[in-house]
């Protein structure tokens, strides 16, 4: 065993301490202890391995080792050292230690990736003049020392995912042997220096995910002499201005294979010289350029496999020359302003697996030739102006995983899918077209792996096939705004993928709400509104994740189920309006603490508004834990799901008009109990719902006074209590609601003066107050008399004190004006009395003005006389 040269214990599932006896293998040259669960506190055994050439301790715990630096200084033959992911916090040796700098200078490869090293630890490497590969990725470095420039033999330097700040380190300028330089994911700023172009041995240059703002010269000059460069990544910086420049080749050929400039703000169009980089395999410049066409010269890049020019404000047409890129398997031109037809010649791109032209201005029909791209896995043509039918040869695209033709003007029948087989299709999006026909009854056989079926806003008719219940991978179903009829199948069951959305709104569906929807325990949104559903609402005790329930505009009867916070802990929108629901409002609804929209309008509800209404903490603006909880509910979901809120659509009557809330729905906080038979008073606790934007209690039988503290709802924009039996006066506190822009108090028994301050001055429509014969003041014709003011039932001593304060303020206001006028007048007069030159100038100006008036008057009179004489002669 003493003659052992090579020992590998990698991935052996060892744990605990490393045996000290390993130091006895003095002839050992290669030791690999990587990927075990060793925890090391003493490394003295390493110093006895004098023949060691390579030591791999990747993933060995060295965080508590006191003498890690000995590895560097006591092994005369060590050339390769891997200490990646070893929990090392520092490599600074003790002050009393004098290392042998001869040994450390022989290390060629050093990997310290994913530790917690700071810049001061770099001094350990000061004399590693033979170093060729140095990996310090994923540490806490903030700067590089200038002596790094001594590493003339360094070929690979990985400093990505640190905290480097400031401009590109000057210490790198003289590292002429560098082949790989990775500075991505740092905080570097300023300009990318032109001297980078002098590192002509570079094969890979990565500066992505920094904060660079410009190029000192231009991209073309940096590339000019970098003949061997294979990968250049400047993506996700803050580059702006003109950057591409004109191209002057300094090489016979360029080896560049990958060019990534994604996510920048260049202000010049794509240059034609990109076509000179004949070895390019990947060209990614999405979300970077300002405008201009796609250069036809890109058709010369015969080796190109990936072309991504998404969201570059490109205009013009799609060049026919792109059909020459026969090796292309990824083509994304989405999010531009491209016009014209989709070229038929693109059928030559037979290797494409992703083809995305979404969000452009393309016209015409979908070419039949696209059906011949049989390797396609993603086809996106959404949000253009395409018309005609879906090509009948699309059935050949059996590898499709996603087909998105939404937001066009496509016609034809959905039944075209009946004879096709899309076993790999996960997303079918035909939303917002003019598709008709009925859904295939065997849709579960056609698309057995479907996850998203989005067919809303079309003209599909017939019934919903029960075979949809057999697609066990289905997550989202949108059949809204079609002409579907019949009953909703009652066969739904949960699946491993987990449902998130069912939207069947705005159809002609009948029957009851399926009780089996209650099996979909992960369901987030349920939209059944604007149909002809009848019967009673199911209890739905298992929908713990439900965020939106909208069953408005149906014919549902019975009472509102006593849904509590335990049943719907996440519910934020409950919309039951325009049904035939009866009974009282269950007090259990007060436990729905995430609720932000409660819409029970236009039903037959009776009883009073529950006094526990203040428990709806999702409608309360507060710094308390309730506010934190409300925010948590939104952040609970994935970022993809939160993005869907931008497309969610819920109708709400706010400001007297039914509005579709899209984009800002997650910010709407509204309560609508109008059009019922509610009695009693407005609970004082309701004024605690300080996040409310809209409150509609109109067309009920409510009575009593408007709560004095209604002004506490500072965010209120719309307040409607019309057609009730409210009495008393309008609280003065309402004038402090500066956001209020819609008010309807008509047809009640309110009395006394209308407040004339602040926001009430903008609410000057008499219709807001009509039907209250005892109200007076602006904007009504009924003026307030002393009796009206004295008989105001709500004029408290505090309000009278307020009037006295306002009278006092007026006296002071006029007093200050008088003082100011007096001071100004006597200042002017005094100046004229004391300064003779000013006095003469004023008098001279007065004389001039008098002369001008006199002359003008004489001329006008003379002209008038001439006109009169002429008139007499005529």
DSSP-based three-state secondary structure for 864: helix
DSSP-based three-state secondary structure for 81: strand
818 pLDDT band, cuts 50/70/90, is: low
Residue 49: predicted pLDDT = 81
How would you class 859 by CB atoms within 10 Å of its CB: exposed for 0-12, middle for 13-18, buried for 19 or more? Answer: exposed
Task: Give me the long-range contacts of 157-165 (CB less than 8 A, separation at least 24).
Answer: 157/181, 157/182, 158/113, 158/134, 158/182, 159/183, 159/186, 160/184, 160/185, 160/186, 160/206, 161/137, 161/185, 161/186, 162/136, 162/137, 162/138, 162/186, 163/187, 164/188, 165/189
For the chain, what is the mean pLDDT?
87
Residue 757: predicted pLDDT = 85
Q: Which residue has the higher pLDDT, 804 or 97?
A: 97
Interatomic CA distance for residues 14 and 16, integer angstroms: 7
Interatomic CA distance for residues 450 and 442, integer angstroms: 13
The closest alpha carbon to 459, from 477, 485, 441, belongs to 485
Tokens of 25: 């293998």
Residue 700: predicted pLDDT = 98
231 pLDDT band, cuts 50/70/90, is: very high
Mean pLDDT over 705-720 rounds to 95
Each residue of 446-497: pLDDT tens digit? 999 999 999 999 999 999 999 999 999 999 999 999 999 999 999 998 876 7
Interatomic CA distance for residues 6 and 250, integer angstroms: 48
- In angstroms, what CA-CA distances link 736 with 406, 674, 683, 709? 47, 25, 20, 11
- In angstroms, what CA-CA distances link 649 with 59, 276, 579, 683? 51, 49, 19, 31
Lowest mean pLDDT: which of 55-64, 71-80, 210-219? Answer: 71-80
Return all residues near 474 (Cβ < 8 A) that are at least 6 apart: 450, 451, 453, 468, 495, 497, 499
| 796 pLDDT above the threshold of 90 | no
| 805 pLDDT above the threshold of 50 | no
871 pLDDT band, cuts 50/70/90, is: very low
- Domain residue ranges in the chain: 1-141, 562-572+623-795, 797-829, 835-874
| 91 pLDDT above the threshold of 50 | yes
What is the DSSP code string of 104-157?
HTT--EEE--SS---GGGGGGGTT-TT--EEE--SS------GGGGG-TT--EE
Interatomic CA distance for residues 313 and 288, integer angstroms: 9
- In angstroms, what CA-CA distances link 37 with 71, 114, 137, 748? 20, 16, 22, 78
Each residue of 521-532: pLDDT tens digit? 999 999 999 999
Interatomic CA distance for residues 194 and 649, integer angstroms: 52
Tokens of 228: 């061997």
* Count of alpha carbons within 13 angstroms of residue 297, beta-carbon side: 11
Quote the strand ranges of 545-635, DSSP E. Answer: 548-550, 555-559, 573-575, 580-584, 597-599, 604-606
| 184 pLDDT above the threshold of 60 | yes
Residue 659: predicted pLDDT = 55
| 67 pLDDT above the threshold of 80 | no
Percent of the chain with pLDDT over 90: 72
Tokens of 856: 């003008």
Q: Are strands 657-661 and 650-654 parallel, antiparallel or unpaired?
A: antiparallel
Residue 707: predicted pLDDT = 96
Residue 496: predicted pLDDT = 65
Say which DSSP state 488 is in: P
Produce one character per residue of 407-424: b if its CB has 16 or more CB atoms within 10 Å, e if not.
bbebebebbbbbebebeb
What is the DSSP code string of 589-607?
GGG-TT--EEE--SSEEES
Lowest mean pLDDT: which of 162-166, 356-360, 818-822? Answer: 818-822
Mean pLDDT over 753-773 rounds to 91
842 pLDDT band, cuts 50/70/90, is: low
Mean pLDDT over 358-367 rounds to 98
Between helices 797-834 and 836-873, what is the axis angle to 10°?
100
| 808 pLDDT above the threshold of 60 | no
Residue 257: predicted pLDDT = 98
Interatomic CA distance for residues 75 and 70, integer angstroms: 8
Residue 138: predicted pLDDT = 98
Q: How many CB atoms are located within 10 Å of the residue 377 CB?
A: 17
644 pLDDT band, cuts 50/70/90, is: low
Please give the distance of CA 506 from its chain centroid, rounded to a whole number.
28
User: CA quadruple 759, 765, 771, 776: dihedral positive or negative?
Assistant: positive
Interatomic CA distance for residues 416 and 398, integer angstroms: 15
Interatomic CA distance for residues 713 and 684, integer angstroms: 12
- In angstroms, what CA-CA distances link 362 with 522, 722, 798? 39, 51, 68
What topology is assigned to 562-572+623-795 in CATH? 3.80.10
Residue 133: predicted pLDDT = 98
Q: Which residue has the higher pLDDT, 247 or 261?
A: 261
Task: Give me the long-range contacts of 664-668 (CB less than 8 A, separation at least 24).
Answer: 665/573, 666/634, 668/596, 668/597, 668/693, 668/694
Is the peptide bond prior to 12 cis by the omega test (within 30 degrees of 0)?
A: no
Task: Confirm whether 1-141 and 562-572+623-795 share one CATH topology.
Answer: yes
Mean pLDDT over 296-324 rounds to 97
Interatomic CA distance for residues 454 and 460, integer angstroms: 12
Tokens of 205: 């240059």
Residue 75: predicted pLDDT = 77
Percent of the chain with pLDDT over 70: 82
Contact 533, 511 (CB under 8 A): yes
Phi, psi of 380 (to 5 degrees): -125, 115
Task: Give me the long-range contacts of 734-737 (CB less than 8 A, separation at least 24).
Answer: 734/706, 734/710, 734/759, 734/760, 735/711, 735/759, 735/760, 736/711, 737/711, 737/713
The closest alpha carbon to 562, from 584, 589, 530, 582, belongs to 589
Return all residues near 479 (Cβ < 8 A) that are at least 6 apart: 453, 455, 456, 460, 464, 503, 504, 507
Each residue of 597-622: pLDDT tens digit? 999 999 999 999 999 999 999 999 76
Interatomic CA distance for residues 859 and 666, integer angstroms: 72
Interatomic CA distance for residues 24 and 49, integer angstroms: 8
Phi, psi of 125 (to 5 degrees): -90, 10
Tokens of 240: 């702006």
Residue 93: predicted pLDDT = 67
Share in percent of the chain as helix, strand, coil (round to 5): 25, 20, 55
Multiple choice CATH, 1-141, 3.40.630.30, 3.30.420.40, 3.80.10.10, 3.40.50.970: 3.80.10.10
Mean pLDDT over 247-257 rounds to 91
Q: Which residue has the higher pLDDT, 795 or 373?
A: 373
Interatomic CA distance for residues 603 and 556, integer angstroms: 10
Residue 636: predicted pLDDT = 38
Interatomic CA distance for residues 617 and 629, integer angstroms: 9
Residue 123: predicted pLDDT = 85
């Amino acid at each position: 065993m003493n003659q052992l040269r090579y020992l590998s214990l990698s991935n052996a599932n060892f744990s605990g301490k490393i045996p000290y006896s390993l130091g006895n293998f003095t002839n050992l040259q290669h030791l690999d202890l990587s990927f075990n669960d060793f925890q090391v506190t003493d490394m003295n055994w390493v110093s006895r391995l004098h023949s060691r050439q390579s030591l791999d301790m990747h993933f060995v715990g060295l965080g508590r080792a006191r003498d890690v630096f000995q590895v560097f200084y006591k092994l005369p033959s060590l050339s390769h050292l891997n200490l990646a992911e070893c929990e090392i916090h520092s490599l600074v040796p003790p002050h009393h230690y004098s290392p042998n700098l001869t040994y450390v200078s022989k290390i060629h490869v050093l990997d310290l990736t994913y530790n917690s090293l700071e810049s001061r630890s770099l001094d350990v490497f000061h004399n590693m003049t033979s170093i060729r590969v140095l990996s310090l990725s994923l540490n806490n470095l903030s700067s590089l020392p200038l002596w790094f420039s001594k590493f003339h033999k360094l070929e690979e330097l990985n400093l990505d995912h640190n905290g480097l700040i400031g401009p590109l380190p000057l210490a790198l300028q003289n590292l002429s042997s560098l082949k790989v330089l990775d500075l991505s994911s740092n905080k570097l700023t300023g300009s990318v220096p032109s001297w980078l172009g002098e590192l002509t041995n570079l094969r890979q240059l990565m500066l992505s995910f920094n904060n660079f703002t410009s190029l000192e010269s231009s991209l073309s000059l940096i590339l000019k002499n970098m003949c061997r460069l294979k990968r250049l990544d400047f993506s996700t910086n803050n580059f702006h201005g003109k950057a591409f420049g004109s191209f002057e080749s300094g090489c016979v050929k360029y080896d560049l294979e990958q060019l990534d400039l994604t996510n920048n703000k260049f202000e010049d169009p794509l240059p034609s010289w990109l076509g000179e980089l004949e070895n390019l395999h990947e060209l990614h410049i999405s979300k970077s350029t300002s405008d201009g066409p796609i250069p036809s010269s890109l058709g010369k890049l015969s080796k190109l496999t990936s072309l991504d020019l998404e969201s570059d404000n490109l205009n013009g047409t799609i060049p026919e020359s792109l059909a020459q890129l026969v090796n292309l398997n990824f083509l994304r031109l989405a999010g531009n302003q491209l016009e014209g037809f989709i070229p038929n010649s693109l059928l030559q791109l037979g290797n494409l697996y992703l083809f995305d032209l979404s969000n452009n201005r393309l016209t015409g029909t979908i070419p039949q030739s696209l059906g011949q791209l049989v390797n396609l896995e993603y086809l996106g043509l959404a949000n253009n102006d395409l018309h005609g039918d879906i090509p009948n040869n699309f059935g050949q695209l059996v590898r499709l995983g996603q087909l998105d033709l939404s937001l066009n003007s496509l016609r034809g029948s959905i039944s075209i899918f009946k004879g096709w087989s899309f076993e790999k299709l996960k997303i079918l999006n035909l939303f917002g077209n003019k598709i008709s026909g009925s859904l295939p009854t065997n849709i579960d056989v056609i698309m057995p792996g479907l996850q998203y079926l989005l067919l809303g806003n079309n003209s599909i008719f017939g019934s919903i096939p029960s075979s949809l219940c057999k697609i066990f991978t289905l997550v989202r179903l949108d059949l809204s705004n079609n002409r579907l009829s019949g009953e909703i199948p009652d066969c739904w069951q949960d699946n491993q993928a987990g449902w998130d959305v069912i939207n069947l709104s705005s159809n002609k569906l009948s029957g009851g709400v399926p009780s089996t929807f209650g099996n979909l325990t992960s369901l987030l949104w349920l939209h059944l509104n604007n149909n002809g559903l009848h019967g009673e609402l199911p209890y739905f005790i298992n929908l713990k994740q439900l965020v939106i329930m909208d069953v408005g505009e149906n014919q549902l009867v019975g009472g509102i189920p006593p849904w509590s916070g335990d049943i719907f802990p996440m519910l934020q929108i409950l919309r039951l309006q325009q049904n035939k629901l009866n009974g009282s409002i269950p007090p259990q609804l007060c436990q729905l603490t995430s609720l932000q929209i409660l819409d029970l309008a236009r039903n037959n509800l009776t009883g009073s508004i529950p006094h526990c209404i203040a428990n709806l903490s999702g409608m309360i603006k507060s710094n308390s834990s309730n506010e934190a909880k409300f925010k948590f509910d939104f952040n609970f979901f994935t970022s993809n799901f939160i993005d869907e809120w931008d497309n969610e659509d819920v109708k709400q009557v706010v400001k007297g008009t039914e509005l579709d809330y899209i984009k800002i729905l997650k910010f709407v906080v509204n309560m609508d109990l109008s059009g019922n038979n509610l009695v009693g008073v407005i609970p004082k606790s309701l004024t605690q719902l300080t996040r409310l934007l809209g409150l509609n209690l109109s067309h009920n039988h409510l009575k009593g006074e408007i709560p004095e503290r209604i002004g506490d709802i500072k965010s209120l924009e719309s307040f409607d209590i019309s057609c009730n039996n409210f009495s008393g006066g309008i609280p003065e506190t309402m004038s402090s609601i500066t956001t209020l822009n819609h008010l309807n108090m008509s047809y009640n028994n309110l009395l006394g003066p209308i407040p004339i301050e602040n926001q009430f001055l903008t609410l000057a429509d008499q219709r807001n107050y009509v039907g209250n014969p005892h109200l007076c003041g602006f904007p009504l014709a009924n003026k307030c008399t002393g009796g009206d003011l004295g008989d105001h039932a709500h004029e408290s001593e505090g309000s009278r004190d307020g009037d006295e304060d306002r009278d006092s303020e007026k006296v002071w206001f006029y007093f200050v004006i008088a003082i100011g006028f007096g001071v100004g007048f006597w200042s002017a007069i005094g100046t004229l009395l004391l300064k003779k030159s000013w006095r003469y100038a004023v008098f001279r100006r007065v004389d001039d003005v008098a002369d001008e008036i006199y002359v003008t008057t004489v001329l006008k009179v003379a002209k008038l006389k001439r006109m009169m004489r002429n008139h007499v002669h005529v």
